[in-house]
Amino acid sequence: MTTFWFIVIAFLWTGYFVLEGFDFGVGALLPLLSRSEADRRQVLGTIGPVWDGNEVWLITAIGAMFAAFPAWYSGLLSGFYLPVFLVVTGLIVRGVGLEWRGKVHSRREVALCDAGIVAGSVLPAFLWGAIFGNLLFGTALATVLGGALSLSVAVLHGAVFVALKTTGGVRARARRAALLAAVGAVPVALSTLPSVPGRGPLWTLGTALLAAAALAAGVTLVWGRREGWAFTATATAITATTATVFGVLSAAPLPGLTLAEAASAPYTLTLLTWIGLIALPGVLVYQAWTYWVFRKRLTAEVGDGTARGPRSRG
């Protein structure tokens, strides 16, 4: 049961980084992809129906850690109290910006909302990588490189997502932004990922190589205007990177703490298993349905500029 729940938690974190990753990237790129208010509505419309649902993956992952591995949960959140606090603060600021942007009227208020969206996207995207980089290596350099890797890949992932979901000038700028983001993401990945597998099981070497290959494939596919496959590639890169990280953490999720020592009692894990088997499939089906409903590309509203937001177009 201990191994099973570690895999479940790794799966939840992976879902969070893949889905919330493009949210962070879109928010960080908002001022770079927009030339007008219609553009900004079009960019934000790509994540409007899904961003709050994507955050549920984080809540579920943290909740599962609390129930299945209380020692890991308490050690992680207390040991990284300040960065986790800043992550939560960033998510709150971003949420307020996204929710209030359509309710305010003055340009100053809209600009404040936009600034909150950008800051609330960049900060968590960097800090999650910094936290896990510190967990793996415990050095200042690894912390900075981990943060740079997660932020640059999130920006690339978000740019590809915007290119996949939009039309016109925003789509063209998103493709260019993806190529520019790759200039930062690929070198950082090549300097970081090869050093991770040496600390974990042999199979983590394969996932690290897969992450690097998928990242390179994503850049190539963006260049060829194959945004759907490019998004699949960047999502694969994030998945493989997360698998590599959790593969290393499987031996010791915290320094001096084994997985068995961090786990709850067998009865608790058994009870959690039954709850998870009932609840998790429903959540996955619902979120898949949400993405299916909002699968079409978006185009900015035309008219006098007072339209409420983007509309879907096949």
Q: Is residue 87, in this structure, part of any structural domain at all?
A: yes
Stated length of the chain? 314
Q: Is residue 204, in this structure, part of any structural domain at all?
A: yes
Residue-level pLDDT, tens digit, the chain, 314 residues: 788 899 999 999 999 999 999 999 999 999 999 988 999 999 999 998 899 889 989 999 999 999 899 999 988 888 899 999 999 999 999 999 999 998 888 889 999 999 999 999 999 999 999 999 998 888 888 899 999 999 999 999 999 999 999 988 999 999 999 988 888 787 877 777 766 766 778 888 889 889 989 998 998 898 888 899 999 999 999 999 999 999 989 888 888 888 888 888 888 888 888 888 887 888 788 888 888 888 888 776 533 333 343 343 33
Q: Is residue 300, in this structure, part of any structural domain at all?
A: no
Q: pTM of this prediction?
A: 0.88
Q: Is residue 40, in this structure, part of any structural domain at all?
A: yes
Domain that holds residue 286: 1-294
Structure confidence by residue, pLDDT tens digits, 12-31: 999 999 999 999 999 999 99
Q: Is residue 115, in this structure, part of any structural domain at all?
A: yes
String of DSSP letters for 234-246? HHHHHHHHHHHHH
Looking at the structure of the chain, the number of domains it has is 1
Q: Is residue 282, in this structure, part of any structural domain at all?
A: yes
- Tokens at residue 182, please? 């790759």
Q: What are phi and psi of 58, to 5 degrees?
A: -65, -45
* Closest C-alpha among 283, 239, 232, 294 to residue 18: 239
Structure confidence by residue, pLDDT tens digits, 93-113: 999 999 999 888 888 999 999
Separation CA 231–CA 164 (nearest Å): 8
String of DSSP letters for 265-303? -HHHHHHHHHHHHHHHHHHHHHHHHHHHHT-SEEE---S
The CATH number of whichever domain residue 187 belongs to comes to 1.20.1630.10
Q: Is residue 313, in this structure, part of any structural domain at all?
A: no
* Closest C-alpha among 137, 153, 157, 5 to residue 68: 5
- Tokens at residue 219, please? 């850049």
Q: Is residue 304, in this structure, part of any structural domain at all?
A: no
